Amino acid sequence: MGFKTKKNINSSPLPLGEGSGVRVAIDEDLAGQQDITALLVPEDAKAKAYVICREEAIVCGIEWVNEVFRQLDKDIKIKWKCEDGNLIREDNVVCELEGKARSLLTGERTALNFLQLLSATATVTYQYVQKLAGTSVKLLDSRKTIPGLRAAQKYAVRCGGGHNHRMGLYDAFLIKENHIRACGSISEAVAAARNIAKKQIEVEVEDLIQLQEAISAGADMVMLDNFGIDEVREAVMINKGKVLLEVSGNVSLDNIRNIAQLGVDFISVGALTKNVKAIDFSMQFVT
C-alpha cells in the first residue's frame, strides 16, 4: 500500500469526546437539526465507502474521524489501513466504512475536515524534520494554532516527528518583549519568574546584548528572535553551551538545515500549525 510507519510519536492524543472539538464541529453542520439532503436516501439504506488520499502525506486524525462517526452513529464500522504517523502514497485508500448511508453522508465533511487539517500539520512537520536529518536539533511548534484545536494540532506535530513547545501559558515561562518592558529588564523578569514557580524559564531576545543579559540572569533557554545567520553563529560563540538556544522567525525549508548546522539546540516554526494547506482526502461510496 506504500505505507511507512513512523515510530517517534512521543505521546498519544488527548482523550476525545466532548472536549475534542468534534461535538462543536458536528453542531456547525446540524445545529441540533437534521441533514436534510441525507433524507433523500431511505432511512434503512446501508452503504460502503472508502476514504482516499490524493497526495503523499503523513496521516493524522484517525481518532477524530472515529469520534465523528461514534457521536453520529455508533453502528458505523471503520477499518483503517494505516496508523497516525504513517507516510501514505498518492491515491492510497486510508480506510473503509460501512453502515447507514445517511450517517456516512452526514459525517463525511466533518470527518474529512479533521483528517485534512491534522494530516496537513503532520505532513509539513515531517518535511521540516527531514531537513534536520543527521543533526541533533529538535523542531518545535508554537502556540500559533487554530483556536480550540491546539491539542489536536500539537499531536499532529508529534505525528510528523516534531516536538511540542509550550502547550499553553501555564507550563513554562517565556519572557518576551512586553514582559521585559513591564518588568523593567530581562534580569528583573527572570528573577521574578524564579520566585513564582520552579518551571523552565526561556527569554526571547532581539540582539546579542540581550542574549548576554539573559545568560547572566540565569535563564534556562534563550530564543533568538529573527536573528540572521551571522548573528546566530555569533550567538552560539557567545553562549558556549551555557543555556539552550532556540532559533525562531524567518525559518523556511530552504534555510533550516543551514541554521541547524550552526550549533543551536532547537528551531521553532510557527508555520507548522499556522500556515496550513489541507491534504486532499475524499470519501467515495462503493457502487
Active-site annotation, residues: 109, 144, 176, 204, 225
Nearest to 204 by CA among 232, 178, 238, 234: 178
* Cβ neighbours around 128 below 10 Å, total: 22
Do the strands 77-80 and 173-175 form a parallel or antiparallel pair, or are they unpaired?
unpaired
Which amino acid is located at 3 in the chain?
F
* Cβ neighbours around 208 below 10 Å, total: 15
CB 138 within 8 A of CB 266: yes
How many H-runs (helices) and E-runs (strands) does the chain carry?
Answer: 10, 12
The Cα–Cα gap between 75 and 81 comes to: 19
Edge-first strand order for the sheet with 77-80 is: 77-80, 92-100, 46-53, 281-285
